[in-house]
């Protein structure tokens, strides 16, 4: 299961990142402090810390068994295309997905 979270990081950044586990209180305090620094817009917000370890295990086996249901999209097939689209034209990607682009993304 560990490889599942490494895969998107490798797709986006071309390398693996070392991940360290720290207490939620420490992480939340650090995120809050970063928010207080003028001129910087931190990526991680304090509210994100509360959800960082949420894990939703999804199993489509029952839907497949009862209804013959299959997902139309595959994460392994779709995520690489999403990443390439984001890299090719970040501004367009954010707009198409109705997301607020970070300040450093050039707008067309």
Domain ranges of the chain: 21-55, 59-108
* Residue-averaged pLDDT of the chain: 81
Higher pLDDT, 69 or 105: 69
32-80 pLDDT, tens per residue?
999 899 987 788 888 888 888 777 777 889 999 999 999 898 888 888 8
Q: Token pair for residue 105?
A: 């993304």
Give the span between the Cα atoms of 6 and 1, in whole angstroms: 9
The answer to which of 17-21, 25-29, 41-45, 85-89 has the lowest mean pLDDT is 17-21
């Amino acid at each position: 299961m560990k490889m599942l979270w490494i895969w998107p990081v490798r797709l986006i950044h071309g390398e693996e990142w070392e991940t360290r586990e720290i207490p939620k209180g420490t992480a939340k305090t650090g995120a809050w402090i970063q928010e207080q620094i003028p001129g910087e817009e931190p990526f991680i917000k304090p509210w994100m810390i509360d959800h960082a370890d949420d894990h939703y295990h999804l199993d489509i086996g029952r839907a497949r068994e009862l209804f013959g249901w299959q997902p139309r999209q595959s994460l392994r097939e779709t995520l690489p295309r999403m990443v390439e689209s984001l890299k090719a034209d970040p501004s367009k990607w954010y707009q198409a997905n109705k997301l607020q682009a970070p300040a450093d993304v050039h707008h067309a």
